[in-house]
């Protein structure tokens, strides 16, 4: 998970996990491990929302003086941290989720046995 958190291949820790912002390399450039075999799906978005919600929304609820700020100050002071934290955390959390999938050997072909809408 730590290798994925750093944006590195969970198998060797050397090759880059992404070739663009959230686009996973089909295989590790260093060790040729098939990185697109790990289906992170919606997990990273869920954990990012969970974390960013606590980091940004909790202070708004805890500190009542924030409610007295003018809207022109309040909106940017909420939306800018929301955007920054989300964009910074999402690739790291996606890497950590892929690291957890790698550690537990959960691959894309295993998705069929985990879905509830299986045909047979
Ligand atoms: Zn690798």
* Distance in Å, CA 85 to ligand 1 centroid: 27
* Distance in Å, CA 35 to ligand 1 centroid: 8
Tell me the torsion sign for CA atoms 104, 108, 110, 111: positive
27-50: average pLDDT:
93
**Tell me: the pLDDT tens digits for 64-115?**
888 888 999 989 988 999 999 999 999 999 999 999 999 999 888 876 665 5
46-69: average pLDDT:
88
* Distance in Å, CA 32 to ligand 1 centroid: 6
What is the model's pTM? Answer: 0.83
* Distance in Å, CA 50 to ligand 1 centroid: 29
3-state DSSP call for residue 9? Answer: coil
Q: CA–CA distance from 46 to each of 25, 30, 70, 90, 108 (Å)? A: 22, 30, 31, 10, 19
Closest by CA to 14, choosing from 38, 1, 30, 2, is 30
Closest by CA to 98, choosing from 42, 35, 12, is 35
* Distance in Å, CA 17 to ligand 1 centroid: 8
């Amino acid at each position: 998970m730590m290798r994925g958190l750093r944006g590195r291949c969970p198998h060797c820790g050397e090759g880059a996990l992404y070739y663009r912002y959230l686009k996973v390399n089909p295989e590790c450039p260093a060790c040729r491990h098939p990185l697109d075999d790990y289906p992170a799906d919606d997990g990273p978005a869920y954990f990012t929302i969970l974390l960013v919600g606590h980091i940004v929304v909790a202070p708004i609820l805890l500190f009542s003086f924030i409610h007295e700020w003018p809207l022109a100050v309040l909106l940017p002071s909420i939306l800018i941290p929301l955007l920054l934290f989300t964009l910074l955390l999402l690739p790291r959390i996606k890497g950590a989720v892929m690291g957890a999938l790698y550690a537990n050997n959960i691959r894309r072909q295993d998705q069929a046995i985990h879905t509830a809408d299986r045909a047979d």
